[in-house]
Chain A
Amino acid sequence: GENVEQHPSTLSVQEGDSAVIKCTYSDSASNYFPWYKQELGKGPQLIIDIRSNVGEKKDQRIAVTLNKTAKHFSLHITETQPEDSAVYFCAASRGRHGSSNTGKLIFGQGTTLQVKP
């Protein structure tokens, strides 16, 4: 079945450095790739997403890149701050072009990011 692999499982950076989290997916029909941030004791919250017709998307310090040929996508956080410390999840779905899998997000295993002051 569909699978999303996420690396690394933990990541520790100094404040101000960049952080990169990578994901690969198995379902070639996937066309929507969101990233969720989960703070301690809370539910995940969408921070950025990208669709398969776009190679890169940026929102202030956060950017996501997509390589459809290689079936991988990455989250880039620049100028990290202590409040970026959280668990980050990538996910993939067939978006609007699927049928039986419509609506289903397949999540990666999560990356715990620690930003040291």
Chain B
Amino acid sequence: NAGVTQTPKFQVLKTGQSMTLQCAQDMNHNSMYWYRQDPGMGLRLIYYSASEGTTDKGEVPNGYNVSRLNKREFSLRLESAAPSQTSVYFCASSVTGLGDNEQFFGPGTRLTVL
């Protein structure tokens, strides 16, 4: 079991460029999440998908879009990157969307926007 995998591991973009962060899980989990981690601010939820076919906004959704491609995959898209989106992005999954389920995190994508 690979758990939660994310690609790429590192990315440098110029302001205005677009890119998609990929996430996949092989644990047959129903729910998936995208977080960003910034120094001194902990982890903040960008978007989540409680189950296949549904997506909802989290705390900081502006500037992002998501796609729950199937039960395994959940992608995060930056349409026009801004320096404020420089961050480490984590994907996570859990068995269900109930708040007391353990979330399993991927290794992260470190994104720099110049």
Contact = CB atoms under 8 A, between A and B. Distances in A.
Interface in A23-82: 31-32, 34, 36, 41-46, 49, 51
Contact of B98 (A43, A45, A102, A109): A102
Interface string B57-97: 01100000000000000000000000000000010101011
Contacts, number: 72
Contacts of B108: 41-43
B: interface residue count bin: 20 to 34
B2 to A, nearest CB: 13
Main secondary structure of the interface of B (DSSP, over half): loop
Given A43-B90, A103-B50, A89 B45 contact: no
B98 to A, nearest CB: 5
Main secondary structure of the interface of A (DSSP, over half): loop
A: interface residue count bin: 20 to 34
Contacts of A4: 42
B48 A103 contact: yes
Contacts of B58: 104
7 contacts: A51-B100, A94-B99, A103-B31, A103-B98, A104-B45, A104-B58, A110-B42
User: What are the 7 closest A-B residue pairs judged by CB atoms, nearest first?
Assistant: A43-B105, A93-B99, A103-B97, A95-B100, A107-B42, A32-B100, A107-B43
Interface of B: 4, 31, 40-45, 48, 50, 58-59, 90, 92, 94, 96-103, 105-108
